[in-house]
Amino acid sequence: MKYIQVEIKLDQVHIEPVTGLLLTMGIDETAVEDPSDLAGILSKEHGYEWDYIDDGVLTSSGAAPKITFYLDEGEDERAASLARKIGAEFPETEITISTQDDSQWKDKWKEFFKPAHITEDLVVKPTWEEYRPKGREKVIEIDPGMAFGTGTHETTSLCLKLMEKYLRPKDHVLDVGCGSGILSVGAALLGAEKVLAIDIDPEAVKVSAENVKLNRCTDTVEVRQGNLIDGVDFKADITVANLMADLVMLLTGHMHKAMNQGGIYISSGILTEKEDEVTQVIKSCGFDIIETRKDGMWCAIAARTRF
């Protein structure tokens, strides 16, 4: 699909008045990039947490602020008229109008998603690739859509490896924050009798349900939109939560209610620098740590319920 992109480079002091001018001209959806905001993010002065910031974000800190908005294909005259009016009122701005075609990049990432051995027995393959399993290999076919989880990220592969080690046939598994549903499908293929996949994001629920159906696991895996804090009518032998450190710490106190005695709690999405902090929270919530695995900057923690 083609569309028109209008990009306005300007001084930081002009961001608000230019945005206001655009509103008067019927442009109410804009993207504002102000590198000065990065300082507030890094200092966490706004009260929110982050675990990881891409290097590309850090290297953009010296760039000029800009406002970007989009128009439909064919609205070239409108784009030119808007640019003239903005330029007349704010002559120090730099305005660029270009035609973009998202067909050139929207599926580009698929070129790099190939069948991959994640554990000894589990292979993950995208729906658009061919792969024939060998020996006792089990293949997870996945289309992540807009949800997190292709299996190749360290946090996901760590969870799958720990599940392969600790999951026993007939176990009941709870997948908290199921994303693409890859861990739920993996649990089913590893022999789980029943799996409940939950996520607060409706898009993740939709994608997970599609992938469960694609892998013919609908008899084993149930997908729901929900929040563990609100409680679930499910008792798990294994609970897996591939989230991020702060969410793991927030939800760990609610895990016991959804787990059977002696159950295994697998958590990931944790930077190694936060391992000690997360470990202490898990211990304080009634779990004994039985194993921690690391891959690059990430770690996953396996713990057993303590009653």
> For residue range 75-134, what is the model confidence (pLDDT) as tens digits?
999 999 999 999 999 999 999 999 887 665 555 556 666 778 888 889 988 877 888 888
pLDDT of residue 247: 93
pLDDT of residue 239: 97
Residue type, 198: I
Is the CB of residue 236 less than 8 Å from the CB of residue 174? yes
pLDDT of residue 62: 55
pLDDT digit string, tens, across residues 24-47: 989 988 998 887 766 555 555 554
Mean of the per-residue pLDDT values of the chain:
86
Element (H, E) at 271: strand 259-271
pLDDT of residue 56: 55
Sorting pLDDT into bands at 50, 70 and 90, what band is 63? confident
**Buried (b) or exposed (e) across 233-255, using 16+ Cβ within 10 A?**
ebebbbbbbbbbbbbbbebbebb
Q: Is 178 exposed, middle or buried (0-12, 13-18, 19+ CB in 10 A)?
A: buried
Please name which of 280, 212, 214 lies closest in space to residue 245, comparing C-alpha atoms.
Answer: 280
pLDDT digit string, tens, across residues 138-160: 999 887 654 455 566 899 999 99
pLDDT of residue 89: 92
Please name which of 35, 94, 41 lies closest in space to residue 59, comparing C-alpha atoms.
Answer: 35
Please name which of 240, 188, 197 lies closest in space to residue 219, comparing C-alpha atoms.
Answer: 188
Say how many C-beta atoms besides its own lie within 10 A of residue 196's C-beta. Answer: 23
Q: Which residue has the higher pLDDT, 207 or 51?
A: 207
Count of residues making up the chain: 307
pLDDT digit string, tens, across residues 205-264: 999 999 999 999 999 999 999 999 888 999 999 999 999 999 999 999 999 999 999 999
Sorting pLDDT into bands at 50, 70 and 90, what band is 48? very low
Report the DSSP beta bridge partners of residue 287. 305
Sorting pLDDT into bands at 50, 70 and 90, what band is 5? very high
Say how many C-beta atoms besides its own lie within 10 A of residue 304's C-beta. Answer: 17
